């Protein structure tokens, strides 16, 4: 009898073994299921997802609790609010540590185990619901379920592999996943970060051909999603380049800077004109590829500005935004085009500390691309900010050459100095903060020979429009800049 049962028993065992090994073939030992607590440790993810782990390990998600500026801000904010700020900062910078009760205010992060620091793999891939619009409203499964973009997950994995539209970049719902921590209102209700809201106001959020956060911040390649599968997938990189960079020793630093620079170089398309009637320079900026404003993120901290120098021969006949413009805040440069958010406390006094903000005023940011409506010219004007140089008076002559540069600093010197002055930030940190000069189409030389002649309202304009390669399918129809109309 036992001999008669043996063949079917072997068949069942062989089938189970093959399932555990997925498609890697015979000879591979079965995969041992991981417990929820094990799945919360990114080091466990590294075994099966080494590439994604390596990318994540150098990301600002992994760095979120190590960043000395974050720690300094949180430390000072907790002190100045007598602790009422609570988990406002760490809810997004150390979400698993908060959920597990390991910290309530972020002042004890050195005592938190490393697997619960930063924005971890589990925090994103265990999300089952976005139950709000800002300040981390993610609801997690809190079991051995991990979600991803595949509706045919491989079998034999050490955890439940489930499909979720929140993790699928092909669905616009996935933007709300990122938006949960990239749309922040402080305790006064002031929107100190509104990247997700900005995206909702752009053409990128429009059905049916919209584009989501991961299309820019998680580049794709083809390959197996894990070491327990040979299925070829469309994989998303997990470095999440944006603006900020690590300012202390951290993995993948050079890769991060290169990826951020590449991303920024593709955002803005400037149109630079010389108006012969008014003897002035006219600059129009268009945001062609960022699915949000430029700059974005923690906009009260961001500083973007224009540097422009006009020459007659070797002589400078006009300049703005260069070294004499510093410090940017309170600059005496009358023509400085500084893009930032100004925040004010409940008395109406300007401040540079987010927890003191009661109101906010945007200063000349470049909005994300919107769908143009010829019947509503204000849609064009809104999405193509323009400034004249000089703002008063005229240039002495038509320049032989105009050099344009666009700069971005992750955190303003005034914000950093305030933290140094209060003793919360080491004075060696501010010089290390990420600073960029945008390349690509954003920085170039205008000359009369490269300019295109146009006549607008009886004024002759000599314009150079630097075209940019559109990186998404929704930015194809953006119009030329104002002075090209």
- Confidence (pLDDT) at 14: 36
Closest-CA residue to 184 (of 351, 57, 360, 347):
360
Q: What is the pTM (predicted TM-score) of this model?
A: 0.88
Dist. CA 187–CA 77, nearest whole Å? 11
**Domain final residue pick, 191, 207, 242:** 242
Q: What string of pLDDT tens digits covers the 485 residues of the chain?
A: 333 333 443 333 333 333 433 444 444 556 788 999 999 999 999 999 999 999 999 999 999 999 999 999 999 999 999 999 999 999 999 999 999 999 999 999 999 999 999 999 999 999 999 999 999 999 999 899 999 999 998 888 889 999 999 999 999 999 999 999 999 999 999 999 999 999 999 999 997 888 999 999 999 999 999 998 899 999 999 999 999 999 999 999 999 999 999 999 999 999 999 999 999 999 999 999 999 999 999 999 999 999 999 999 999 999 999 988 888 988 999 999 999 999 999 999 999 999 999 999 987 689 998 877 766 777 777 788 999 999 999 999 999 999 999 999 999 999 999 999 999 999 999 999 999 999 988 888 999 999 999 887 778 888 887 665 433 322 222 222 222 22
In a domain, 336, yes or no: yes
Residue 235 and residue 347 in one domain: no
Structural domain range at position 183: 21-242
Residue 201 and residue 282 in one domain: no
Closest-CA residue to 371 (of 199, 203, 208, 212):
203
In a domain, 187, yes or no: yes
Residue 181 and residue 271 in one domain: no
For residues 259, 138, 342, 206, the Cα torsion angle rounded to the nearest 10 degrees is 70
C-alpha Rg value of the chain to the nearest Å:
26
Residue 238 and residue 116 in one domain: yes
Residue 347 and residue 208 in one domain: no
Residue 392 and residue 456 in one domain: yes
In a domain, 225, yes or no: yes
In a domain, 449, yes or no: yes
Residue 209 and residue 265 in one domain: no
Residue 237 and residue 264 in one domain: no
Q: Taking the CB of residue 79, how many other CB atoms lie within 10 A of it?
A: 13
Dump the DSSP string for 5-48. Answer: HHHHHHHHHHHHHHHHTTTS-TTPPPPPPPPHHHHT-HHHHHHH
Residue 198 and residue 306 in one domain: no
Residue 153 and residue 205 in one domain: yes
In a domain, 15, yes or no: no
In a domain, 41, yes or no: yes
**Domain final residue pick, 216, 242, 268:** 242
Residue 238 and residue 271 in one domain: no
Residue 145 and residue 272 in one domain: no
- What total of structural domains would you count in the chain? 2
By the 8 A CB rule, do 335 and 320 touch? Answer: yes
In a domain, 266, yes or no: yes
In a domain, 14, yes or no: no
- 145-148 and 160-163: which strand pairing? parallel
């Amino acid at each position: 009898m036992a001999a008669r049962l043996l063949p079917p028993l072997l068949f069942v065992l062989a089938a189970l073994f093959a399932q555990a090994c997925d498609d890697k073939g015979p000879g591979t030992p079965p995969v041992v299921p991981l417990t929820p607590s094990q799945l919360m440790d990114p080091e466990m993810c590294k075994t099966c997802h080494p590439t994604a782990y390596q990318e994540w390990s150098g990301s600002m998600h992994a760095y979120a609790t190590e960043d000395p500026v974050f720690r300094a801000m949180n430390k000072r904010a907790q002190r100045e609010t007598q602790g009422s700020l609570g988990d406002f900062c760490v809810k997004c910078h150390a979400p698993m540590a908060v959920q597990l009760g390991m910290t309530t205010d972020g002042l004890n992060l050195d005592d938190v185990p490393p697997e619960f620091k930063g924005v971890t793999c589990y925090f994103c891939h265990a999300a089952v619901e976005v139950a709000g619009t800002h300040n981390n409203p993610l609801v997690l499964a809190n079991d051995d379920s991990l979600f991803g973009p595949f509706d045919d997950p491989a079998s034999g994995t050490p955890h439940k592999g489930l499909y979720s539209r929140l993790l699928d970049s092909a669905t616009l719902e996935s933007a709300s996943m990122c938006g949960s921590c990239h749309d922040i209102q402080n305790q006064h209700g002031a929107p100190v970060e509104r990247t997700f809201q900005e995206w909702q106001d752009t053409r990128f959020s429009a059905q049916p051909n919209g584009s989501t956060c991961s299309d820019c911040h998680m580049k794709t390649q083809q390959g197996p999603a894990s070491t327990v599968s040979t299925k070829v997938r469309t994989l998303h990189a997990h470095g999440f380049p944006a603006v900020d960079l690590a300012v202390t020793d951290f993995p993948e630093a050079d890769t991060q800077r290169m990826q951020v620079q590449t991303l920024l170089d593709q955002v803005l398309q400037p149109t630079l004109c010389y108006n012969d009637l008014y003897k002035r320079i006219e600059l129009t900026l268009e945001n062609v590829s960022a699915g949000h404003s430029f700059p974005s993120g923690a906009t009260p901290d961001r500083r973007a500005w224009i540097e422009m120098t006009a020459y007659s021969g070797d002589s400078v006949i006009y300049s703005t935004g260069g070294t004499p413009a510093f410090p940017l805040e309170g600059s005496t440069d009358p023509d400085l085009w500084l893009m930032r958010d100004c925040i004010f406390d409940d008395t109406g006094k300007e401040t540079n500390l987010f927890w003191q903000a009661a109101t906010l005023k945007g200063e000349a940011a470049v909005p994300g691309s919107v769908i143009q409506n010829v019947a509503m010219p204000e849609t064009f004007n809104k999405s193509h900010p323009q400034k004249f140089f000089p703002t008063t008076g005229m240039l002495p002559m038509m320049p032989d050459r105009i050099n344009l540069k666009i700069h971005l600093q992750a955190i303003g010197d005034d914000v950093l100095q305030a933290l140094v002055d209060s003793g919360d930030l080491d004075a060696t940190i501010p010089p290390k903060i990420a600073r960029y000069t945008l390349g690509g189409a954003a920085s170039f030389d205008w000359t009369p020979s490269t300019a295109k002649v146009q006549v607008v309202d009886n004024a002759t304009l000599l314009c150079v429009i630097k075209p940019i390669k559109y990186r998404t399918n929704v930015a194809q129809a953006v119009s030329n800049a104002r002075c090209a109309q």
